[in-house]
């Protein structure tokens, strides 16, 4: 568009620029262009995506990553420490490697024994170090805290396999009988040697086991070890020490009874009393299914308010003045009686009767009369509640030569018991 204006005669007239030169942009054109550019910039700002602050998710991911890196470093340090042997401390351990064992088998044996913590790491180390083929079988003395190099070095030395003997001790075996088996198999030189160690009479210390420290020093107790040499089947080295033989029994007893300690504490009794009572249950109950019922009878005699049992005597023929061979009496015709010389003397010392005769003693005798198994120990702690509530005080076993051999008959009164004795085949 052109705008015609009359020239101002008072103003100087300028001649127009040649057509070849580009015309000057008018001010309003420049202003218009500038406004247009600002509008474009505003539009770009409006259409551009908004910038957010640092995302929380990214922060969490970074923190997790850093945590994993830190844990990986810590775990790596732990594994390196195990390789170097600086992660554990412990005493000597005997590890048996069976002939034909693979590296994996050996690694598992080492982990189970507590020598190492990671079987997989040892397996890889032995394999990639090129030393796996040199591992031998036999019995090796190792310790927790050995470096992997030292372990492999020890396992690479060919061993002469130590001779062993397997011995079985039935539940209810006395300590004298256990000691005699060691003598008969040439493991110890005398019953006295074994019992001196088992009773701590030779200075042997088994205080590593809590139960040992809690065995009371009851007046008249014949043997401290009676009741704690846990009956089972064991394999012993023929050239081992007496201490290690005894320790095998005590270690097993500690393992088997450790789970009962809370219940013993809750019931307000002691492990010693449980073991003593269990030894009588072991002798008097012929079958595991009768353990809890016989236990209930003994609990009633010891704890009932019945005036007929006011003295709370156990009255068990397994340890009393009764001399009948059929009773296998601990004081008269057991291996203990023979070992103590009471049979030859023809009588039992008065102080022993005062401590062990269950027809004299109120409550439990001074010590156990055998080494009971776990079932009897458990029954001593958990008697049959129905038989306690209903007040059973007597039991008798069927005569082996009668109509009911081995069957148990329970009674609440003496008259019922006498009738059961006739039924069981025992003459009155």
Span 166-214, pLDDT tens digits: 999 999 999 999 999 999 999 999 999 999 999 999 999 999 999 999 9
Number of structural domains, the chain? 2
Residue 46 confidence (pLDDT) above 70: no
Among the three residues 161, 186, 212, which one is the final residue of a domain in this structure? 161
Which of 34-43, 190-199, 401-410 ranks highest by mean pLDDT? 190-199
Tell me whether residue 15 is in a domain: no
Confidence bin at 22 (pLDDT 50/70/90): very low
Residue 224 confidence (pLDDT) above 80: yes
Among the three residues 161, 192, 224, which one is the final residue of a domain in this structure? 161
Are 238 and 263 contained in the same domain? yes
Are 378 and 243 contained in the same domain? yes
pLDDT tens-digit series, residues 77-109:
566 666 766 556 677 888 988 888 899 999 999
Residue 428 confidence (pLDDT) above 50: yes
Q: Which domain holds residue 133?
A: 85-161
What pLDDT score was predicted for residue 58? 60
Which of 6-15, 104-113, 151-160 ranks highest by mean pLDDT? 104-113
Q: Residue 167: which of 97, 225, 237, 99 has the closest Cα?
A: 237
Confidence bin at 220 (pLDDT 50/70/90): very high
Tell me whether residue 362 is in a domain: yes
Tell me whether residue 206 is in a domain: yes
Based on the number of CB atoms within 10 Å of its own CB, is 283 exposed (0-12), middle (13-18) or buried (19 or more)? Answer: buried
Based on the number of CB atoms within 10 Å of its own CB, is 123 exposed (0-12), middle (13-18) or buried (19 or more)? Answer: buried
What pLDDT score was predicted for residue 38? 47
Of residues 91 and 130, more confidence is placed in: 130
Q: Residue 142: which of 131, 153, 128 has the closest Cα?
A: 153
Of residues 172 and 58, more confidence is placed in: 172
pTM across the whole model? 0.68
Are 223 and 344 contained in the same domain? yes
Mean pLDDT of 111-121: 87
Is residue 245 helix, strand or coil? helix
Are 102 and 209 contained in the same domain? no
Tell me whether residue 22 is in a domain: no
Are 123 and 187 contained in the same domain? no
What's the CATH code of the domain at 108? 3.30.1490.480
Instruction: Evaluate whether 173 touches 231 at the Cβ level (below 8 Å).
Output: yes
Q: Are strands 233-237 and 164-168 parallel, antiparallel or unpaired?
A: antiparallel
Other beta carbons less than 10 A from residue 100's beta carbon: 7
Is residue 367 helix, strand or coil? coil
Residue 16 confidence (pLDDT) above 50: no
- Residues near 240 by Cβ (< 8 Å), separated by ≥ 6? 187
Residue 219 confidence (pLDDT) above 70: yes
Tell me whether residue 193 is in a domain: yes
The percentage of the chain sitting over the pLDDT mark of 70, rounded to a whole number, equals 79
Are 347 and 205 contained in the same domain? yes
Q: Point out which residues pair with 396 in neighbouring strands.
A: 409
Are 110 and 246 contained in the same domain? no
Are 131 and 238 contained in the same domain? no
In DSSP notation, 140-172 reads: EEEETT--HHHHHHHHTS--PPPPEEEEE--TT
Question: Among the listed ranges 64-68, 190-194, 233-237, 409-413, which one has the minimum average pLDDT value?
Answer: 64-68
Query: At CB < 8 A and 24+ separation, what contacts does 332-341 make?
Result: 334/174, 334/176, 334/369, 335/174, 335/176, 335/177, 335/180, 336/174, 336/175, 336/176, 336/222, 336/223, 336/369, 338/176, 339/176, 339/191, 340/222
Are 358 and 210 contained in the same domain? yes
Of residues 73 and 141, more confidence is placed in: 141
Residue 381 confidence (pLDDT) above 90: yes
Residue whose entry in the numeric block shows the structure tokens 């010392």 = 349
Residue 132 confidence (pLDDT) above 80: yes
In DSSP notation, 194-214 reads: HHHHHTTTTS---TTSHHHHH
Residue 36 confidence (pLDDT) above 60: no
Residue 35 confidence (pLDDT) above 60: no
Tell me whether residue 23 is in a domain: no
Confidence bin at 248 (pLDDT 50/70/90): very high
Are 311 and 349 contained in the same domain? yes
Mean pLDDT of 232-257: 96
- Residues near 117 by Cβ (< 8 Å), separated by ≥ 6? 82, 87, 88, 111
Helix (H) or strand (E) holding 95: strand 92-97
Radius of gyration in angstroms for the set of CA atoms belonging to the chain, rounded to a whole number:
44
- Averaged confidence pLDDT in the chain: 84
Is residue 246 helix, strand or coil? helix
Tell me whether residue 35 is in a domain: no
Is residue 12 helix, strand or coil? coil
- Residues near 330 by Cβ (< 8 Å), separated by ≥ 6? 174, 283, 318, 319, 336, 337, 356, 369, 370
In DSSP notation, 323-339 reads: --GGG--TTTTSHHHHH
Are 262 and 218 contained in the same domain? yes
Are 150 and 103 contained in the same domain? yes
Q: Can you tell me the distance from the alpha carbon of 183 to that of 119, in angstroms, rounded to the nearest whole number?
A: 40
**173 alpha-carbon distance from chain centroid:** 25
Residue 7 confidence (pLDDT) above 60: no
Among the three residues 133, 161, 189, which one is the final residue of a domain in this structure? 161
Instruction: Evaluate whether 200 touches 206 at the Cβ level (below 8 Å).
Output: yes
What pLDDT score was predicted for residue 73? 55
Of residues 100 and 332, more confidence is placed in: 332
What pLDDT score was predicted for residue 260? 94
Tell me whether residue 60 is in a domain: no
């Amino acid at each position: 568009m052109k705008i015609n204006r009359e020239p101002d005669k008072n103003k100087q007239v300028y001649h127009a620029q040649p057509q070849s030169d580009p015309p000057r942009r008018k001010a309003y054109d420049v202003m218009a262009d500038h406004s247009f550019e600002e509008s474009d910039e505003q539009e770009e700002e409006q259409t551009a995506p908004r910038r957010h602050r640092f995302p929380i998710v990214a922060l969490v991911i970074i923190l997790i990553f850093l945590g994993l890196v830190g844990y990986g470093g810590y775990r790596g340090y732990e594994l390196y420490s195990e390789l170097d042997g600086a992660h554990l401390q412990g005493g000597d351990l005997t590890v048996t490697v069976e002939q034909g064992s693979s590296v994996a088998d050996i690694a598992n044996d080492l982990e189970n024994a507590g020598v190492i913590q990671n079987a997989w790491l040892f397996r890889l180390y032995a394999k990639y170090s090129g030393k796996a083929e040199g591992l031998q079988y036999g019995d090796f003395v190792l310790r927790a805290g050995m470096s992997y190099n030292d372990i492999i070095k020890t396992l690479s030395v060919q061993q002469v396999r130590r001779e062993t003997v397997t011995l079985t001790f039935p539940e209810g075996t006395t300590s004298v009988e256990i000691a005699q088996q060691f003598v008969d198999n040439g493991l110890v030189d005398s019953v006295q040697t074994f019992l001196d160690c088992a009773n701590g009479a030779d200075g042997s210390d088994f205080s590593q086991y809590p139960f040992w420290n809690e065995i009371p020093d009851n007046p008249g107790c014949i043997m401290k070890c009676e009741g704690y040499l846990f009956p089972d089947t064991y394999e012993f080295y023929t050239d081992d020490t007496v201490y290690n033989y005894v320790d095998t029994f005590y270690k097993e007893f500690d393992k088997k009874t450790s789970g009962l300690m809370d219940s013993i504490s809750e019931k307000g009794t002691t492990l010693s009393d449980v073991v003593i009572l269990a030894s009588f249950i072991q002798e008097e109950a012929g079958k595991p299914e009768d353990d809890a019922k016989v236990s209930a009878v003994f609990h009633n005699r010891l704890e009932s308010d019945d005036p007929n049992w006011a003295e709370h005597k156990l009255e068990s023929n397994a340890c009393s003045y009764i001399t009948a061979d059929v009773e296998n009496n601990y004081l008269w015709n057991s291996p203990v009686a023979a070992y103590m010389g009471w049979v030859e003397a023809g009588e039992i010392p008065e102080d022993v009767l005062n401590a062990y005769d269950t027809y004299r003693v109120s409550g439990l005798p001074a010590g156990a009369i055998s080494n009971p198994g776990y079932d009897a120990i458990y029954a001593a702690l958990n008697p049959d509640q129905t038989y306690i509530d209903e007040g059973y005080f007597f039991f008798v076993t069927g005569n082996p030569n009668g109509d009911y051999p081995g069957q148990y008959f329970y009674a609440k009164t003496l008259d019922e018991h006498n009738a059961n004795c006739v039924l069981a085949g025992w003459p009155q």
